[in-house]
Every structure is written in C-alpha cells, then in structure tokens.
Homo-oligomer: A and B are copies of this chain.
Amino acid sequence: MPHAKMESIAPGPTLIERAYEAILSAICDGRLQPGERLNQDELAARLQISRQPVGQALSVLKSQGFVRDNGRRGLIVAPLEREFFLAIYELREALDAMAARLAAERCSAADAVDGRRLVFQGRRSVQAGRVDDLISADMDLHMWIYRVAGNPLLAETMTLYWNHLRRAMSEILRQPSRREHIWDEHEGIVHAIIERDPKRAEKLALAHASEAADRIVESIPAAGLEKPTVKARDSLGRALAPSGRRKSTA
C-alpha cells in the first residue's frame, strides 16, 4: 500500500547543529567579542550539554573562518581584520554583480512581489531606526536577489559571507545619514531586476557593493580590532542557553 506520497521525516536538529547556531549567532551579533577566547567547557556548561557537540560545532566554525586556532591554547573568536573584509568585498562585487544579472534574467511575477515588499519593509526599518532590523532587512533583500538568481550554491556561499559582514556592520550603520541612500540603491537594483534589465542590474549591484566596501574599510581601524575580554558575559549566557536557565559566569 503506497501511503500516498510521503517522504521520511527529517531527523530533528542535533545538539551539534544547535550549538553551531548558538555560537555563530553569538559571534555575528557581537555577544562574543573578536579575539575573545572560547573555552569548550564553559560553552558546554552554558548550553547545558557536554563538550562533544561543542567541539564538533567549533570544528565547523573554524573551517568557516569564524573562529581561529590560538596556538595550543584553544580557540579565539576571529578578530576583525581589514584585509579579510577587503577580500570578502572583492568577492562580493563579482558575485553580487553576477547575481543581479542572473536575477534580472529569471525574475518571475511572484518574485517581483516579494522584491517590492522587501524594499518597503527596508524603508520602514530605516524609519524605525533599530540597527538590528536594518541589518536584517539588508540581508533579506540581498538574499532575495541570490534566490531569484536561481543558484543555490551562490545563496549558500553568500550567506556565509554575510554572517562575516554582520560582525562589522553595526559599526557602519551608526551614521543614519547613509541609511536612506542605501535603500535608494536597493530600490534601483530591485527595479532593474523586476524590469528584467540585466545590464543595468549588474551595473547598479556592482556600484552598490563597491560603495559598501569603501564604507567598511573606513570603519575598521588599521590593526585588528579585538576588545579584550569585555564582560558581556551575561547577555551571552542568556542567549546561548536554550532553556534560559544559566549558570552564573563564575
């Protein structure tokens, strides 16, 4: 008896995946500071799990460049380095330009609706002024482009890069003057895509990425920016612990 068409249910998120997500998000929004040391025991205690899944999650994060070996003394959160962000933006210029071009070739009517909505929501976030929302809206819009471009690997790769960028972004978005301008550019790109004008979409996306690169560079001081051992421990603990119940930092 064929039970209709039914696929096997997905094996729920493992502790490894949950640890990965928890640590990654803590790094990306700054609750774990650049250069801060990561202690497996401590992370495990916060997450209320054993060291095993924490270690596996850290292995993956290391391979993705979010954490870095610290000699024989474990791992540290990757510092914010100018050259690294320059490198990311160089790649982003090439990939965003391509993405915009492909998106303009493949944009459907339904996609267009989504795009317009994202621009609207972005404008609203600018009004509201919360920095976290601005970052989310920015990411959402660019992810829309990647999705419409129809290349899953592109979306996946850029998701990683954007997680790196998020770490430096709250600095950039400090000055509210730029915010309107950013969304003017976004709107231009989206319109070019919706109107299926690949050339223009590509050109605008390239210019947008270029500008963003300039802004990043000036926002990151020459040397690595690692604030040594700030006591942001409390908010970290709360955010990492799935049940909210946390051992005090001692």
Interface residues of A (CB under 8 A from B): 8, 11, 16, 55-56, 59-60, 63-64, 69, 71-72, 83-84, 87-88, 90-91, 93-95, 97-98, 102, 151-154, 157
Contacts and interface: CB of A to CB of B under 8 A. Distances in A.
Copy number in the complex reads: 2
Interface of chain A, helix or strand or loop or mixed?
helix
B153 A84 contact: yes
A83 B152 CA distance: 9
Given A8-B72, A60-B63, A91-B98, 19 more contacts: A8-B71, A11-B69, A11-B71, A16-B59, A55-B56, A56-B56, A59-B59, A59-B60, A83-B152, A87-B151, A90-B102, A90-B153, A90-B154, A91-B153, A93-B98, A94-B94, A94-B95, A94-B97, A95-B95
A58 B77 CA distance: 23
Contact of A59 (B11, B56, B84, B93): B56
A16 B69 CA distance: 14
Nearest to A10: B71
Contacts of A102: 90
Contacts of A11: 69, 71-72
* Most chain B beta carbons < 10 A, residue from A87, A91, A152, A153: A153
Contacts of A95: 91, 94-95
A143 B39 CA distance: 36
A87 B87 CA distance: 22
A81 to B, nearest CB: 11
A87 B56 contact: no
A98 B84 CA distance: 17
A182 to B, nearest CB: 23
Contact of A90 (B60, B69, B151): B151
10 nearest CB pairs, A to B: A87-B153, A94-B98, A94-B94, A56-B59, A60-B63, A87-B151, A11-B72, A90-B151, A56-B56, A8-B71
Contacts of A55: 56
A154 B71 contact: no
A146 to B, nearest CB: 11
